[in-house]
Chains A and B, each alone.
Chain A
């Protein structure tokens, strides 16, 4: 199989039968190329999906007030639930054992914020110091809101990276004052967030300050809790259940009412998203497998055609002394050689294509960093080579066994 003579003969045959070589080669190369590209794009889609959840702490729950849907304890249904400072304080205290970080979050609708001559609409959130932990906010400059700011109801703000970009450009914003809602606010920090651009368009202020400008309201909006990761998954579920019943009891909500409060947790979100991305992966794999199958059928067809076309030549070779074995090997080696080379060409082109896409499709098609792992790519190529070989073997075996006289009569 590795004799130099044999390879020279095969290379000679390949180079002198260009159409055949190109036909077989391009089928394989195209098959692999399409497989790599589809599979890579599928992976890119999955990446995007995963990135949606990247910025949140996994051990975080969001408790949102809603409206009751059942009458309970003398209250009518459709009662609006609100959390106030007492709720917040009691929850903090009662569940202290589980809690790693807790913060209220009052989200105000987007409003005009300006600095000197520049202005834009941004959303403002009143939060506590732990919010940084809950949302995995990363400080680029200055500091986050601390507990002293909360107590003093300071008119301080921490602005997102894009807010800074819009209002300050290259200017250092720390210590500068921005205007919003007819008041001035001192910028004490700039943050970035992996959660994407939208997260970086927020402005954070102490929640007590926000309460005081809302005519002394003590509404705290949502409550966000990061629990200690040591409690584990089961502990987390139990914690979620406990806190739910505690709040329902406190707020006089029917225990069976599904709507009074909503608890969202990253771990249950993650579970769902993993299920979804598994389905996505299955679809991608299915499409990839289909492409590969089409490629295999393509190369099989071409091999059958090639052997058919060569029947006479094989007959001549047999008449002048080629053994059946040498005929089979010749056809096989040729097909394996062509499929290997063109398979790797397809592989190379596919990977090149994917890396040239990079993140260009992120905006319109939600595809981030499409890639194919080397293992899958090599396996796919190997499969095509093996099946190309089998596809070549069967007709070659047949051709090698026909009598030379029949092959020669086949004009």
Chain B
């Protein structure tokens, strides 16, 4: 599903250039649930952003579902993001003046799907995450766990190839974290490829592969026996 070879990325901070990713090689197969671990500054979020086409890489090659992702214009990138990728963020990033249902609908709106169909579909995904009865609540009326579940429903509604989660439990307490991870495991069981960036050991144990980054290179890449979240 994802093929990365010799990936480099550096940021310019003033006169200095900060070399964040120093030649990564990574291959992820369809249906994997991968934890990307590392301390802060290790480059794990940068890697996720590049995979998510939220950011461009400098050198190396990146292939997503057989499509080579090169520096492309924003319109094309937007189309690919919409078609291939679903995002879940640490800070949820819901649009605060739209209710849960409308937040889930938004990706479908940008796909140009008709109003009736997208509403029906969004409601289905919302009930899949157990929030059917909360569909007309605004984000600030929801708990953190509920917000993250809305965000997951929004990421899933466009039926992406890959779900990318950046510290999805970072803002949640341990019980809620487990619920959210349970949801992620279920989605994974249904066949979806998922990448989870985390620095929590517990969370990484709930995946079936751990990739550990340090100073912009992969220092460890192992398959593990998955722990059930709940």
Contact = CB atoms under 8 A, between A and B. Distances in A.
Interface of A: 5, 8-9, 12-13, 16-17, 312-313, 315-326, 400-401, 403-405, 408, 411
A13 B106 CA distance: 12
Contacts of A317: 95, 106, 110
A89 B159 CA distance: 107
A404 B52 CA distance: 10
Nearest to B99: A16
Contacts of A323: 74-75, 78-79, 110
Contacts of A408: 54, 89, 93
A279 B98 CA distance: 54
B6 interface: no
A289 to B, nearest CB: 37
A319 B74 contact: no
Interface in B47-100: 49, 52, 54-55, 74-75, 78-79, 81-83, 87, 89, 91, 93-95, 97-98
Interface of B: 49, 52, 54-55, 74-75, 78-79, 81-83, 87, 89, 91, 93-95, 97-98, 102, 106-107, 109-111, 115, 154, 158
A316 B91 CA distance: 11
A5 B79 CA distance: 19
Contacts of B83: 321
Given A17-B97, A318-B78, A326 B91 contact: no
Contacts of B95: 313, 316-317
Contacts of A318: 74, 78, 81
Given A313-B95, A319-B93, A325 B110 contact: no
B49 A320 contact: no
Contact of A324 (B78, B91, B158): B78
Contacts of B87: 319-320
9 contacts: A17-B97, A319-B54, A319-B81, A321-B110, A324-B78, A325-B75, A401-B74, A405-B49, A408-B89
A5 B78 contact: no
Contacts of B79: 321, 323
Nearest to B45: A405
B110 A316 contact: no
A13 B74 CA distance: 24
Contact of A320 (B75, B81, B91, B115): B81
B49 to A, nearest CB: 5
B91 A5 contact: no
Given A17-B97, A313-B95, A401-B74, A321 B54 contact: no
B54 A404 contact: yes
Q: Is the interface of A mostly helix, strand, loop or mixed?
A: helix
Please give me the 10 A-B residue pairs with the lowest Cβ-Cβ distance, nearest first: A321-B82, A321-B110, A16-B97, A405-B54, A323-B78, A320-B107, A323-B75, A324-B74, A316-B93, A404-B54
Contacts of A411: 91
Interface centre among A12, A312, A403 (most CB of B within 10 A): A403
A5 B111 CA distance: 12
Nearest to B94: A316
A30 B78 CA distance: 39
A321 B82 CA distance: 4
B126 to A, nearest CB: 15
B110 A403 contact: no
Nearest to B154: A320
A156 to B, nearest CB: 84
A190 B126 CA distance: 88
B154 to A, nearest CB: 7
A312 B89 CA distance: 13
Contacts of A313: 95
Given A318-B78, A403-B54, A405-B49, A13 B109 contact: no
Contacts of A315: 93
A315 B55 CA distance: 12
B158 A320 contact: yes
Contact of A321 (B89, B98, B107): B107
Given A319-B54, A320-B106, A403-B54, 4 more contacts: A12-B98, A317-B110, A400-B74, A404-B54
Given A16-B98, A316-B93, A320-B107, A403 B55 contact: yes
A16 B98 CA distance: 8
B139 to A, nearest CB: 11
Nearest to B112: A5
A12 B97 CA distance: 9
